[in-house]
Structure 1
Amino acid sequence: METHELEAHTAYPPLEVTSVAARIVSRDENWLRLRWRIEGTGKLVVPPFAGKGRADELWRTTCFELFLKPEGGEAYCEFNLSPSERWAAYDFSTQRDGMENRPVPREPECTMRQGSSFAVFDAAIPAAALPQQDCAAGLTCVLEEEGGIKSFWALCHPGDQPDFHDPACFTARLAAPTTA
């Protein structure tokens, strides 16, 4: 699958992070697998292990996100995935409106591995929690570094402030599952 280079929003530059690449690794009948690779992680703040479970406001520190908007409508869903193993999933009826918890029948799986100057965050979202049609996708992340410095990374940033919910950020594609 295609690797996407994310851009840091210019209003919130990173401290030491130099690049973020995100990709949809695979989709099968059980899981959607995603990966983010971060370069320049010497001052990256990684949330401590908290165990699996839903949690709100994960974006307040290092967090990885996927937005999926099925073709032909305004509704979309958002998945927030934390290195702490906490996660959240929401449905929106239109841009930033009508937010509700999205049903997820099985908890996502998240792992983060760190090297000397890079980190890799892998996530798997249960296929049953995903839209079953072709979707526009937004791959994003919030990275916190020492001193509370946050940078906001997305496929693009159309406005003066970061807004991962802007449909212009949904430039990747996720194909509907195929039936055998």
Structure 2
Amino acid sequence: MRFVVEGEIGGIVWPGKAEQERADDLWRHTCFEAFVTADDGYVEYNLSPSSQWASYRFDGPRVGMRRAEEVATVLGLDAAFDQVALEARIELPHGARRVALSAVIETTEGEMSYWALAHPSDKPDFHHPDSFILTLPPPEPA
């Protein structure tokens, strides 16, 4: 995956470098997220510019949250004067079919903004079933 932020990137708070490890509450600061449907619900991946990551499994929208077995690897950041890109790899859950992508951006002024490919409700809700708008190709036969 590659997430790209363009514009006034100097006004964004970028988490400092940390050990590549699982961590909670990454979404409280600048963070990129992927939500992937599975045979039995969906998996949420939080990918921090710090290189920390998290994955959680849900039975339904915000129901049955628990640590997911699927892991992520944050590969790093690429930066230019007007853009920053985060690259990561995620392990897809069994039955992965649809994906929702989003970002939480923290500004140097203390404001938070919430970005997604789709905002199907009045308030940002990355867990909303109608947010899963990308379709993954079927797996190739073994």
| Length-normalised TM-score, structure 1 | 0.73
Moved over 3 A (4+): none
Match status 1:103 vs 2:69? yes
Q: Deviations over 1:4-23 (max 9, x none)?
A: xxxxxxxxxxxxxxxxxxxx
Query: Which amino acid in 2 is paired with 1:167?
Result: P
In the aligned structure 2, how far is the partner of 1:87 from the partner of 1:120?
Answer: 16
The alpha carbon displacement at 1:66 in A equals 0.5
Report the counterpart of residue 36 of structure 2 in structure 1.
Answer: 68
In the aligned structure 1, how far is the partner of 2:139 from the partner of 2:16?
Answer: 34
1:18-97 mapped onto 2 (5 Å cutoff): 34-40=1-7, 41-70=9-38, 75-97=41-63
| Length-normalised TM-score, structure 2 | 0.91
The alpha carbon displacement at 1:175 in A equals 2.5
Match status 1:143 vs 2:105? yes
The alpha carbon displacement at 1:176 in A equals 3.7
What percentage of residue pairs aligned between the two structures are identical? 40
Q: Deviations over 1:84-126 (max 9, x none)?
A: 011000100111010110013x65133112211111111112x
Unaligned stretches of 5+ in structure 1?
A: 1-33
Report if the CA contact (8 A) 2:75-2:86 is conserved.
yes
Q: Secondary structure at the match of 2:35?
A: strand
Report the counterpart of residue 120 of structure 1 in structure 2.
Answer: 85
Question: How many residues were matched structurally?
Answer: 141
| Superposition CA RMSD, Å | 1.6
